[in-house]
A and B are shown apart, each in its own frame.
Chain A
Amino acid sequence: MELFQIFITIMDATFRVATPLILASMAGMFSERSGVVDIGLEGKMLGAAFAAATIASLSGSAWVGLGAGILTSVALSMLHAYACVTHKGNQVVSGMAINIMVAGLTPTLAFAWFRMGGQTPALKGDERFHSLTLPFADAVRDIPVIGYTYAELISGHNIIVYIAAASVPICAWILFRTRFGLRVRAVGENPHAVDTAGISVNVLRYQALAVTGVLCGIAGSYLSTAHGAAFIRDMTAGKGYLALAALIFGKWKPLPTLFACLLFAFTDAVQVRMQGVDLPIVGVIPGQFIQALPYILTVLLLAGFVGKANPPKAIGQPYIKEK
């Protein structure tokens, strides 16, 4: 039972860490599947985290904050679309520009508005999302294994964790079972064919990037109003890139991407618990190694040493309509 409880605690932490990764990698999936590289996930999350914390603090409502986070992220996503789709700019440069700009803009505005050294005020009460207790969680807690798992692992998260969990089947359904999803996938593989069918490549990519913005906005808001209780400078700390790695590791497919996010989050949760623990045979594993593991795995996958990742065919190329 002791070991089982540790496992549940680690899985609980895994879900909390995985939430922004799942949302951001689902966000990236729409963008990349439509043929637009998005290394700007990081900046969009950071911008959303700042907007959500600021507006939640001013309005007193976490939900209004979430709305502001989503709006900010969508606006940044539209900037990306304007540069990459309308003006055929380089997609990597655009993503990079957004990341750097937001990394500078958020602490600048926070400093000017709140005078707290680049942070926003701590959120209290309704200004942030709190843990929810699912129905019957307390009643079934004493049932061994199943009841305990339900009460400790499934119940007791904030609403955004559940939104993230729901986002995976919803995104999968949109991408693979709707007309919009089919078109998004087609435009990422062969935009000429889509254009020939009389559908606007540009409009589709704008739409896909709007979805990216919404999901990234939820991910960023989670960091500052649910997981944390204020905006702190650089609080995304590479999570956008990690989500991108998960997306690639999941070969741009919803379910494998979910597992990649959970794997990366699990290694993180284990690393926190295993700090300095002397394991049999291998000894103490350096925390830095475990932190670097997702990136190493992604490089190995991309190099074709573990499986093979096939990106969308038209990714990274601006579409220029034939005259």
Chain B
Amino acid sequence: MSEKAVRFGTPAKVPAWVNLALIPLVNLLAAFVLSGIVIVIVGDNPFKALEVLIYGAFGYADAIGYTLYYTTNFIFTGLAVAIAFHCGLFNIGAEGQALMSGLGVALCALYLDFLPFWMVIPIAIFAAAFFGAVWAAVPGYLQAKRGSHIVITTIMFNFIAASIITYLLVEVLIAPGGQSPETREFAEITWLLFFHDFLPIPETPLNISFIFALFLSGGFYYFVWHTRWGYEIRVVGQNATAAKYAGISSARNIILAMFISGALAGFVGVNEILGVHHRLILDFTGGFGFVGIAVALMGRNHPVGIFLAALLFGALYQGGSELAFEMKSINREMVIVIQGLIILFSGALEHMFRPRIESFFKRQKSVQAAEA
């Protein structure tokens, strides 16, 4: 009984729209109300801020391009965290996995650029996924076989990844004669296509990674709910004991789920490094891995929900820059406050509003039953 009450995404005995739309919206509203209070405290008008935020995210063509570019990253990290959640695992290391994927991309783009683009780009994308996957599969292995807690190991792996990338950029991969810790610019044949290369829209960082993201979301749905592997992962996540009796190996599925999770997180490297920066730089992950947790929680670990949540965070990121520009008392970090509050309400405090809303709808139902 205690198991049921605390698990993420517990099936509820209320109408689906309450579970999937109303409760996330109530949590979101709570986060926004508190954010509004913070804005009042720093001495600005929250309604004006909201207006600027929405205009900054969707008001003109450039803004939409930037919003979708950020959304792309959040779809990748959201899916990454979600597949781990389906297996009952908490992957807090998407940040480090994304960082390592950047290394995979950079090695291919730097040393294989003699190949034609139709070979080097797929190889680089594969390398990104592979580097991220391995960086996640090791903590997965340690959890499955050696019993070390995945939350702690993935946190440690974030720091280790940051050290490795810093070392390589400062000492090994640094552009010859360069001052800042970054590689040389990749050859142009390795660059991904920008949307503005083939559509009549202004120049933005939005590139075809966004299409990968949509494609992967579809693949995620098919894999999790319509394949045997996805089924096994979910069984292990719901009830490891039942899985064992059914002959499903927990260890194998934990490692598999983490491998896929890391690969998904690795696509951040594709979007950022191969798509936009065209060189490996420090800190290109910009907290996207951590936001992925919020995206997965809000999106209820379902690709449609994840897309909507990613769009919300993409809009927050892009609108946040506009906010810092337009309002005199607000800077970029306000967006991080909103993120934190969303994680707090839709994750940590998910049981605060839920029982009240659920019992309200259950009462409605029994009233209807009594009348009928």
List A residues at the B interface (Cβ < 8 Å).
Answer: 37, 39, 82-84, 87-90, 92-94, 96-105, 107-109, 111-113, 118, 233, 238, 241, 244-245, 248, 286, 288-289, 291-292, 295-296, 298-299, 302-304, 311, 317-318, 320
Contacts and interface: CB of A to CB of B under 8 A. Distances in A.
A299 B163 contact: no
Given A94-B344, A302-B153, A320-B6, 10 more contacts: A90-B90, A98-B340, A104-B334, A105-B333, A105-B340, A111-B333, A118-B331, A248-B152, A288-B164, A320-B1
Given A288-B163, A320-B5, A108 B290 contact: no
A89 B347 contact: yes
A241 B158 CA distance: 11
Contact of A101 (B41, B331, B337): B337
Interface in B329-369: 329-331, 333-341, 343-344, 347-352
Given A96-B92, A108-B331, A111-B331, A241 B42 contact: no
Contacts of A37: 151
Interface stretch (B140-148, B252-260, B262-270, B302-310): B140-148
B344 A289 contact: no
B166 interface: yes
B115 interface: no
Given A94-B344, A96-B343, A97-B343, A241 B159 contact: yes
B38 interface: yes
Contacts of B187: none
A107 B331 contact: yes
5 contacts: A83-B344, A87-B349, A94-B347, A244-B152, A318-B6
Max count, chain A CB within 10 A of own CB: residue among B149, B159, B164, B352: B159
A289 B351 CA distance: 42
A104 B337 contact: yes
Contacts of B167: 286, 288-289
Contacts of B42: 108-109, 111-113
B339 A100 contact: yes
B199 to A, nearest CB: 34
B142 A94 contact: no
Contact of A97 (B38, B157, B331, B340): B340
Among B8, B92, B344, B350, chain A packs the most CB atoms within 10 A around the CB of: B344
B266 to A, nearest CB: 20
Task: For the complex of A and B, list the 3 residue pairs with the smallest distance between their C-beta atoms, beginning with the closest.
Answer: A101-B340, A104-B336, A302-B148
A201 to B, nearest CB: 12
B103 interface: no
A292 B153 contact: no
B38 A93 contact: no
A96 B336 CA distance: 12
Contact of B155 (A39, A104, A112): A39
Nearest to B148: A302
Given A288-B166, A298-B156, A302-B142, A108 B330 contact: yes
Contact of A90 (B163, B170, B336, B347): B347
A108 B334 contact: yes
Contacts of B38: 105, 108
B371 interface: no
B122 interface: no
A113 B159 CA distance: 32
A82 B349 CA distance: 9
A311 B149 contact: yes
B98 to A, nearest CB: 17
B137 interface: no
Given A245-B156, A299-B142, A90 B8 contact: yes
Contacts of A298: 152, 156
Contacts of B334: 104, 108
Contacts of A241: 155, 159
B159 A295 contact: yes
A94 B297 CA distance: 12
Contacts of B339: 100-101, 104
Nearest to B347: A93
Nearest to A248: B152
Interface in B1-21: 1-2, 5-6, 8
A118 B333 contact: yes
A302 B149 CA distance: 8
B219 interface: no
Contacts of A245: 152, 156
Contacts of B170: 288
Interface in B192-245: none
B75 interface: no
B340 A100 contact: yes
Nearest to B331: A111
Contacts of A248: 152
B84 to A, nearest CB: 12
B293 interface: yes
Given A39-B155, A241-B155, A298-B156, A101 B164 contact: no
Interface in B96-129: none
Contacts of A97: 340-341, 343-344, 347-348
B152 A303 contact: no
Contacts of B1: 320
A83 B146 contact: no
A292 B340 contact: no
Contacts of B22: none
Nearest to A238: B159
A295 B163 CA distance: 10
Interface string B154-185: 01110110011011001100000000000000
B43 interface: yes
A291 B336 CA distance: 27
